[in-house]
Structure 1
Amino acid sequence: MSRTHDELRESLGAYVLGQLDDADLLRDVEQHLAACAECRAEVAEIGPLAAALKQIDLDDIRPVGVVPPPELDERIRRTLPQPVHGLRRWAPAVGGVLVGAAAATIVVVALPEHDPPAPTIITVPKVESVDGVTASAGLVDHTWGVEIKLTTKGLPAGERFEMWVEGDDGKAYDAGEFIGVKGKVITCDMSASVLLADAKRFKVVDARGTEVIAADLPS
């Protein structure tokens, strides 16, 4: 039985966190991402927050013998601002991490009256990759250059990869490097000192210089 767009979109949070244990569902989500620009943009948007949440070790931050009051979850939900588009659907998947971290200490934060606008993420329509690797990307056009939000899975663990952005002037601009992780979705915020209007393509190469991920950038 095929899954609908909404059903697959509900699984994006777990996908980004690497928590899709159902192999059939994981396959369906990856196939859907290859064809759905809207969902690829959502993955690119929530990827950085999911990556930050993965770094939280609750055993390190939870005081021994401290039990959060039963109403804490609801109090936190009332205090937090409304989620931006694309975060609401996957919040339940990471809610346990948020509440667990809040149980360690309660911090009162004075929120601004108006949140700054989120950056506009431009979806890269077609990202190509070698066999066994899936990838999607979004772009943010900055005044200082271009930011590339790359989400990928299937790269060899422990191997170092470099991203380069090719400019219209024929030059290659360094956008940073990262290391592959076995069986995990990797979300990287890469950046290069070339304006999006002057960039035509990005590529990711392995330690041997072999191209493993690449895409033309929308003009």
Structure 2
Amino acid sequence: MRTPDDRWAELAAAALAGELTSSEAAEFDDLRRSDTRRAEEYVALQGISGRLRQGDLTWVAPRGTDDLADRIAASIQRDDLTALSPSPSQAVTAEGARRRRRWLAPLSAAACLVLGLVIGVNSAGLFAPSPPSGPPGTLGAVEQISVVEDEGAADVHAQLVAHTWGTEAYLEATGLTVGATYELVFVGSNGEEFSAGEVLGSDVPIVCRMNAGVMREDTVRMELRGTGDVVVAHAALPSV
């Protein structure tokens, strides 16, 4: 099954090979503008492409993709043939031919290698920047919080991430009543409540990301509530 990450990998490889159509270029620009991680990833891949042109990296063949990858490969093959063909007015010397062969291999591999690397980056985080760290409220930093279970057999764990647009919770829960609705709520210092969304109890572990439109510094408590607003689990949040 194709994923958005697969499409990003294809577009990044095509951009490095100079094979984007106008519509693909617009799509690629939108992806970079909407995701700083991908924008930084592409900058790193441009560096790799440059090193490939210098011939100081090796490569392995990536998995096959659709016609976009085929167009990239076809373009590279055309460039290789042009580089190998002597001009009508000048013969290629033996030394010149050897020099061309030494450079053509990494040039031909560049886009294919980058395509394989981008696909792998999303699962391995190879070129992803190190996540921010710092005290509670640091933008982008994962904040460990202590969750207390108040009801039933629930086992709940959570982490928070402060964003410029609100607060995100990474929620993991087991032991919730199957089919029952649970709401994650942030409580502000003035008692105002902000919903981060709802989940249904399941007989398999729940792992999800939930978001509330409240700044991390304005929250003092997180609650997981069940039917009738019964607090199933809660966490007192450190002040920011």
Give me the TM-score of the superposition, normalised by structure 2: 0.44
User: Which structure has more RCO (C-alpha within 8 Å, separation ≥ 6)?
Assistant: 1
